[in-house]
Amino acid sequence: MPMKIEDADLPPLFRAADSVSVRSQKIYLRCLAADLILIAIAGVAGAIALESHDAKVTLAWIAAISMAGGFVLTLYIKGRQFEHNWFDGRAVAESVKTSAWRFIMGTEPYDHNLSETDAVLMFTDSLKNVIAERKRFAALLTTEVPENHFQVTPKMLEVRKYAVDEKKAIYLEERLNNQRQWYANKASANVRNSNRWFNAILAAQGFGLLSTYVLVNYPELPILLPSVFATVAAAFVAWLQLKRHQELASSYGLAAQELSFIATQINVVEDLEKLSSFVADAENAISREHTMWVARRDEI
């Protein structure tokens, strides 16, 4: 059984950036969901036409408050830049993680022929460069003070000294298989979520179509049901476009397949030189997928 490499065994900078990214993502998506709900409430309130003066005033207030709440929430989302913090945090965390695995395995630029001191100094400099490229995001990390301030953990140094067979087993299980399983799980989850939201959109559109028949036969109804269901369907479509479940399912699925192909090649690795080349190719593939993800998200 190969040694486990937990998040706690990676540089504290990885955990700090990951924490900021995850928190920013949750806040961003929750705020957007609330924004869409408020817009939908305003649209539904506007589709109800009651004869009572008091009821009309109440509905008008509901629509006004919902629109005002949505307006303020949109300004809040834009001002706090949760989306950028999410992306920057993910970029920093993944850059640190791939650098850490290169260091652990003795891959360029932290070649196994380097002394431990030189490798540690080079690795530390690479982390400084990652932060220097995102100075605005670096300011957010002041709230994430790690218990251990050393960016090179004892386990990183320990595994770096292992023989090639031990390193192969650890890298295969703790990096490639873990990452491949993560991609596979994400692909499956996005397929399920995509189907759910498409079904929800179809249901809203179907009820909207049926409601037109009701409106034709009962024009005296005080609620414009087609407008209500159209508003709901539009909110569902907006959420589906935001999450990009179909696109992510395809991307993650392909990444999982690519890593499975790469993993099969580890059997031909016989020495540290070949391991170094193998790990470099694998980390490049993982970094490539992450770079493409960031580029796609930047288009939103």
- Domain range for 199 is 7-298
Torsions phi, psi of 11, nearest 5? -55, 140
Rounded to whole angstroms, the Cα distance separating 101 from 172 reads 12
Q: What was the pLDDT predicted at 150?
A: 84
Residue 248 lies in a domain: yes
Residue 2 lies in a domain: no
Nearest to 11 by CA among 89, 127, 107: 127
Residue 116 lies in a domain: yes
Helix (H/G/I), strand (E/B), else coil: 299: coil
Per-residue pLDDT of the chain (300 residues; tens, 9 = 90+): 677 899 889 999 999 999 999 999 999 999 999 999 998 898 888 888 777 878 888 888 998 999 999 999 999 998 989 988 998 898 899 999 999 999 999 988 898 888 999 999 999 999 999 988 888 888 888 655 555 568 999 999 999 999 999 999 999 999 999 999 999 999 999 999 999 999 999 999 999 898 888 878 877 777 788 888 888 999 999 888 888 888 888 888 888 888 898 888 888 888 888 888 899 888 888 887 767 666 655 544
Residue 157 lies in a domain: yes
Residue 169 lies in a domain: yes
State the residue for tokens 């957010």: 140
Residue 1 lies in a domain: no
Residue 265 lies in a domain: yes
Residue 72 lies in a domain: yes
Domain count, the chain: 1
